[in-house]
Amino acid sequence: MTTMNRRDALRLLGLSTFGVAALAACAPDATGGAATGDAAAKTFGFTSWSLNEAAQKAAVQAIVDAYAATNKVKIATASFPYNEYLNQVVLKLRGNQLTGAVQVDVAWLGALAAMGKLRDLGAQASAGGYTDVALSSGKFDGRQLGLPWTTGSIGLIANTELLTKAGVDGMPTTIDEFEAALGKVAKLGGGVVPYAAATKAAQLKDIFPWMQTFGSPLLSGDQVTIGDEPSVAAVEWYKKLYDAKLIAPDVDRFDARALFSQGKAAFYDDAIIARGVVASQSPDKALVQKMAPLSRPVLKAGDTPQALLWGHVIAVVEGEGADAAAEFARFATSDTATVADFFQKVQLPPTTTAGLADPKVAGDSFTTEWTEKITKTATANPFWRYAADAQIESAVAEQVQAVLVGNSSAKDALAKAAEAVEGLQK
């Protein structure tokens, strides 16, 4: 029989225990190293979805590199794709794996605020020279949880060349005119999608401005109005476009951008960043000149065009490197030369009075037109104030998708959506 003496065994056991202990020591710190007093910290993190997107990556990295070089600090960057970003950030925050500065879509601030780990950046906000509207996008429950990086809107963009080819004279201003224009574009053939509207669940929250266009407030006080007559009419109209192939199946924001960049879509929804994205993706270098923002068509003349207010902020996680990260966030969002240069590279409008007045920004006709036609009447999504906003948007999107693929009527689907949303209003 193979045997070993007790001393050898104990030695082996000791080594094993040491191995497990070493593994445990290498494991993430459960407290996340929640150090304080880090004004002199020379290292902090910066998490951003823009670092994952080809059109913005270089511009964001340039800001990071410039700040790191000037201030002699090391910034550890991390990024996730936009559609996976929120859940990755939530998981990392929950596991105390995320510190430093974090780019946050204004729609997600409620969810992240509920975790109680974001720093109040009131001091940086008051020193940044931000506009009031921009500052409000980073506020939650009266606390300044994010410094606004860009504030704009999501609206409709048209390819004027395709519209001219299709014989569409002037931009449509009502739903009827819009439908007629789509019909004319459809006749072009050649795989052109008249309106590359979102039809994948991941982006079907784009239906909200259409519901508002048809007259649904979505939320009245705390009362969910999804499922009311106007919202049902909006979804039935969307389904009509889907069945008539005026909008295409299987489209999210990235597909829509690809189609538009290839000259295969006459209209699509995007933020003002669209111009930078199309410029970087399109084989037609002149396409940018053919892009035109337009006010969302209204149900009847005289109605207010609907658009979704949109923007992103930089938040800072309490703990290691927070002071240094807060300074970086202030620099990235308010240093006039930096934000003007960033605007020139990616066309995201700045959020400070000085940044907006910079000739590079103020002299840009596309931005002026966008502000006039879309941002001017844009409103925030009323569900953003709930921590479960992302879940609310998914619940509605899934039901709208069920209508599009013929699994449900608009009325039944939106009744189900409303019930789901009511359960998520916490």
Partner 1 sequence: MRAGRLTNGQFAWLLMLPALALFLAIIAYPLISSVVTGFFEQSLVRPGRAFTGLANFADVLGGDFWPVLRNTLVFTAGATIVPFLIGYALALALNAGIRGSGLMRGLFLFPWVIPGVVVSFLWLWIFNANYGVLNGILLRLGILDAPVSWLGEPATAMIAVIVTKSWASFPWIMVMLLAGLQTMPKELHEAASVDGAGAIRRFISVTLPHMKGIASIVVLLEFIWNFQHFDTIYVLTGGGPAGATETFAVAVYDTAFKGFDLGHATALGGLWMLLLLVLVAFYLRHETKERS
Question: Would you count residue 251 as binding partner 1 (CB under 8 A)?
Answer: yes
Question: Would you count residue 132 as binding partner 1 (CB under 8 A)?
Answer: no
Number of residues that bind partner 1 (CB under 8 A): 52
Question: Would you count residue 203 as binding partner 1 (CB under 8 A)?
Answer: no
| Strand spans (E) along 299-424 | 307-317, 378-379
Question: Would you count residue 415 as binding partner 1 (CB under 8 A)?
Answer: no
CB-wise, 135 or 266, nearer to partner 1?
A: 266
CB-wise, 16 or 368, nearer to partner 1?
A: 16
Per-residue x/- track, 284-323, partner 1 (CB under 8 A)? ----------------------------------------
Q: Which of 406, 400, 404, 401 is nearest to 418 (CA)?
A: 400
Kindly write down the DSSP assignment for every residue of 286-317, as one continuous string: THHHHEEEEPPPBSSTTSPPPEEEEEEEEEEE
Q: Can you tell me which of 20, 35, 180, 362 binds partner 1, judged by CB under 8 A?
A: 20
Q: Can you tell me which of 81, 245, 368, 422 binds partner 1, judged by CB under 8 A?
A: 245
Question: Would you count residue 334 as binding partner 1 (CB under 8 A)?
Answer: no
CA 121 to chain centre: 21
Q: Which of 116, 97, 121, 115 is nearest to 45 (CA)?
A: 97
For residue 35, count other CB atoms closer than 10 A to its CB.
13
CB-based contacts of 324, cutoff 8 Å, min separation 6: 38, 39, 40, 41, 42, 44, 73
Q: Can you tell me which of 112, 294, 315, 361 binds partner 1, judged by CB under 8 A?
A: 112
Check: CB of residue 293 under 8 Å from CB of residue 88: no
CB-wise, 76 or 115, nearer to partner 1?
A: 115
| Strand spans (E) along 165-290 | 193-195, 219-220, 223-224, 265-271
Question: Would you count residue 71 as binding partner 1 (CB under 8 A)?
Answer: no
What's the CA gap between 251 and 241, in Å, rounded?
14
Per-residue x/- track, 142-181, partner 1 (CB under 8 A)? ----------------------------------------
Q: Can you tell me which of 48, 151, 199, 367 binds partner 1, judged by CB under 8 A?
A: 199
Strand partners, 414: none
Question: Would you count residue 244 as binding partner 1 (CB under 8 A)?
Answer: no
Question: Would you count residue 57 as binding partner 1 (CB under 8 A)?
Answer: no
Question: Would you count residue 31 as binding partner 1 (CB under 8 A)?
Answer: no
How far separated are the first and last CA of the chain, in Å rounded? 66
Q: Give residue 5's identity as a one-letter amino acid code.
A: N
What's the CA gap between 305 and 298, in Å, rounded?
6
Residue with tokens 């998520």, as numbered in its chain: 424
CB-wise, 62 or 258, nearer to partner 1?
A: 258
Applying CB under 8 A, the span of 154-162, 333-341, 351-359, 391-399 interacting with partner 1 comes to 391-399
Q: Which residue ranges make up the site for partner 1 (CB under 8 A)?
A: 1-6, 9, 12-13, 16-17, 19-20, 23-24, 87, 90-91, 94, 111-112, 114-116, 191, 193, 199-202, 245, 248-251, 255, 258-259, 262, 264, 387-388, 390-391, 394, 398, 401-402, 404-405, 407-408
